[in-house]
């Protein structure tokens, strides 16, 4: 079949990948033909299959058009899809109406682009280029590939950190290449298949989620199993101090330490510092009789969990923007590493161990040197398009007010951080926020008034956020909330006066229940999720 005939057959349709490997209960051409027949009955327009024997059996049983591949283990021990013209020829002779081959950078090093031309010219079938990046797709289309398929995204060295289907990548591919795009790889739900079509794919290939019963079973089995006894290393990298420790699956801190953060010394010093903290955790975990299963890092600055990279940080930590935290610490430690913005990590900690257990919609605000924020909306932590989402501390509360670290004026951060609290008291009366909070407890009127002013600004911010997000819970954490019940009560009261429809809302303003170690426990929550995923 040529590309026009293929388009006719598959546009707006589902392609089902029917593959099994050695050792699989369904490893036989007969089984694959049965899977293909079931797929046809369910509405599949075409099949993707591996090897001449499976393809011949599937064509016989279903008469559906088949995209043929030949998986081959190469000298480097890694599998390559259809690495020779002879293998492509055998697929076509077995009945394949198209051939797919690995056109990633690695495939190209094995001559994939030349093979694209020769398959088209000598075998007369459509050619499907399996790629992982836009650059690879462009090269394959340039050499005559009839379709590009996102199959390899997440499975090459360059894209290895991507662990979910990305409809936004499909949209970028559609915009970049002139040949039709078929979405394939990590599509696990009908919603994701739909999102692929909405992003501009002409068809969608689904494999594992339909034709690998043991993989589907594994997901359910893992979801049902109680968390295994394990320990993780957790690091809370603040601008001033780094708190870190060994935490078990119940959130118990088994060992902990604090060190100064070398904030001003650049990315390399910070990464060495993190590797050092991770190393101490690993040693302590071993001493306690258990290896750390993963490392969680809650970091100042905006980290992107998916890429493990710091996307953006203020000048408070020069050089920190762009640091490849997860990769570097993973190489040093040899276990999975997750990195996340510190306030967002705290939200994960509250959800797993703290005040937000079982709560679907909640906000976190951390009140300290800065004001961090995180929003969990309908059960999902808000990340955003550039991993900068949920910067609740930069909500404006005073037009053209005090300058903020972000460069704007009048942000909640500039009115609800530790410096602001001191500013609200008589000039230079208190040396630190801690001193002021102690004076409030001792009944000092000036300190109480400062706290009242602070609570009003904080409540302005919280009320605006409540109106936007309609959360069930607003969790206040950070140094200023420690041992400061007055602040939480005052902020709660002031918030109530500023939100509409108060009588029908369920919102409560509460203090974090995780205490001084909240940041470390947030990092631990990230690591425990990673450990569970890694446990298969």
Q: Which residues bind Zn ion (CB under 5 A)?
A: 394, 404, 406, 408, 411
| Residue closer to Zn ion (CB basis): 297 or 363 | 363
Pairing of β 362-367 and β 371-377? antiparallel
336 or 373, CB closer to Zn ion? Answer: 373
Q: Which is nearer to Zn ion, 388 or 408 (CB)?
A: 408
Query: What three-state secondary structure class fits 315?
Result: coil
Min dist. Cβ of residue 387 to Zn ion (A):
17
Sheet harboring 241-248: ordered strands across?
Answer: 253-260, 241-248, 231-237, 292-299, 337-341
Radius of gyration of the chain from Cα atoms? 28
Question: Whole-number minimum distance, CB 478 to Zn ion, in Å?
Answer: 16
Q: Looking at beta carbons only, is 412 or 528 nearer to Zn ion?
A: 412
User: C-beta of 525: minimal distance to Zn ion in Å?
Assistant: 27
Q: How many other C-beta atoms are found inside a 10 Å radius of the C-beta of residue 256? A: 17
Contacts of 166 (CB under 8 A, 6+ apart): 153
Q: Positive or negative CA dihedral for 495, 501, 502, 505?
A: negative
Q: Tell me the backbone φ, ψ of residue 248, rounded to 5 degrees.
A: -95, 180
Q: How far is the CB of 326 from Zn ion (least distance, A)?
A: 27
In the bound complex, what is the minimum distance in angstroms from residue 392's beta carbon to Zn ion? 10
Identify which of residues 253 and 406 has a Cβ nearer to Zn ion in the complex.
406
Classify residue 43 as left (phi > 0), alpha (psi -120 to 50) or beta. Answer: left
- Shortest Cβ distance from residue 10 to Zn ion (Å)? 50
Of 257 and 408, the one with the shorter C-beta distance to Zn ion is: 408
- Crossing angle (nearest 10°) for helices 433-441 and 485-496: 80
At 259, which helix (H) or strand (E)? Answer: strand 253-260
CA distances from 138 to 118, 130, 175, 334 (A): 18, 12, 11, 35
C-alpha to C-alpha distance for 272 and 317, rounded to whole angstroms: 15
Query: Smallest distance from the beta carbon of 411 to Zn ion, in angstroms?
Result: 3
Whether residue 401 contacts residue 415, with contact meaning beta carbons closer than 8 Å, is answered with yes
Nearer to Zn ion, 195 or 414 (CB): 414
Instruction: Output the smallest distance, CB 420 to Zn ion, in A.
Output: 12
Residue number, 409 or 449, with CB nearest to Zn ion: 409
* DSSP three-state, residue 473: strand
Q: Give me the half-sphere count of Cα atoms (radius 13 Å) on the Cβ side of residue 114.
A: 6
To the nearest whole angstrom, how small is the minimum distance from the Cβ of residue 412 to Zn ion?
8
Q: CB nearer to Zn ion: give 104 or 366.
A: 366
């Amino acid at each position: 079949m040529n590309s026009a005939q293929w388009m006719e057959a598959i546009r707006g349709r589902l392609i089902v990948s029917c593959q099994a490997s050695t050792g699989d209960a369904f490893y036989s051409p007969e089984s694959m033909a049965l899977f293909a027949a079931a797929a046809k009955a369910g509405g599949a327009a075409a099949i993707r299959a591996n090897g001449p024997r499976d393809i011949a059996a599937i064509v016989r049983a279903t008469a559906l058009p088949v995209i043929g591949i030949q998986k081959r283990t190469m000298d480097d021990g890694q599998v390559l899809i259809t690495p020779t013209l002879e293998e492509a020829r055998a697929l076509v002779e077995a009945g394949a109406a198209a051939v797919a081959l690995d056109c990633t950078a690695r495939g190209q090093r094995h001559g994939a682009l030349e093979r694209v031309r020769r398959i088209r010219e000598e075998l007369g079938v459509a050619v499907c280029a399996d790629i992982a990046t836009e650059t690879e797709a462009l090269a394959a289309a340039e050499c005559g590939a009839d379709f590009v398929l996102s199959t390899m995204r997440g499975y090459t060295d360059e894209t290895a950190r991507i662990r979910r289907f990305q409809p936004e990548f499909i949209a970028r591919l559609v915009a970049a290449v002139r040949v039709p795009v078929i979405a394939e790889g990590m599509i696990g739900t009908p919603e994701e298949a739909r999102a692929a079509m909405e992003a501009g794919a002409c068809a969608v290939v689904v494999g594992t989620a339909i034709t690998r019963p043991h993989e589907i079973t594994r997901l359910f089995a893992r979801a049902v199993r109680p968390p295994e006894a394990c320990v993780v290393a957790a690091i809370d990298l603040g601008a001033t101090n780094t708190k870190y420790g060994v935490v078990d699956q119940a959130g118990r801190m088994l060992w902990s330490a604090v060190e100064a953060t070398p904030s001003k010394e650049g990315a390399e010093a910070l990464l060495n510092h993190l590797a050092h903290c991770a190393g101490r955790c690993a040693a302590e975990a071993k001493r306690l009789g258990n290896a750390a299963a993963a490392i969680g890092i809650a970091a100042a600055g905006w980290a992107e969990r998916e890429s493990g990279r710091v996307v953006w940080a203020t000048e408070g930590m020069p050089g920190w923007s762009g640091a490849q935290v997860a990769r570097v610490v993973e190489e040093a430690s040899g276990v999975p590493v997750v990195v996340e913005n510190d306030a967002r990590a705290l939200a994960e900690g509250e959800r797993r161990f703290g005040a937000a257990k079982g709560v679907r919609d909640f906000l976190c605000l951390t009140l300290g040197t800065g004001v961090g924020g995180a929003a969990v909306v309908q059960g999902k932590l808000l990340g955003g398009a550039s991993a900068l989402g949920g910067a609740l501390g930069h909500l404006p509360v005073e037009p053209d007010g005090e300058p903020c670290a972000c460069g704007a004026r009048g942000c909640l951060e500039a009115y609800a951080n530790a410096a602001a609290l001191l500013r609200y008291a008589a000039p230079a009366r208190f040396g630190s926020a801690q001193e002021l909070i102690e004076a409030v407890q001792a009944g000092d009127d000036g300190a109480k008034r400062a706290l009242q002013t602070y609570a009003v600004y904080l409540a302005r911010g919280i009320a605006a956020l409540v109106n936007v997000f309609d959360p069930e819970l607003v969790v206040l954490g950070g140094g200023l909330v420690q041992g400061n019940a007055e602040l939480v009560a005052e902020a709660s009261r002031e918030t109530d006066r500023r939100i509409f429809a108060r009588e029908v809302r369920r919102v409560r303003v509460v203090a974090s229940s995780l205490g001084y170690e909240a940041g470390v426990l947030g990092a631990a929550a990230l690591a425990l999720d990673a450990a569970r995923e890694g446990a298969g």
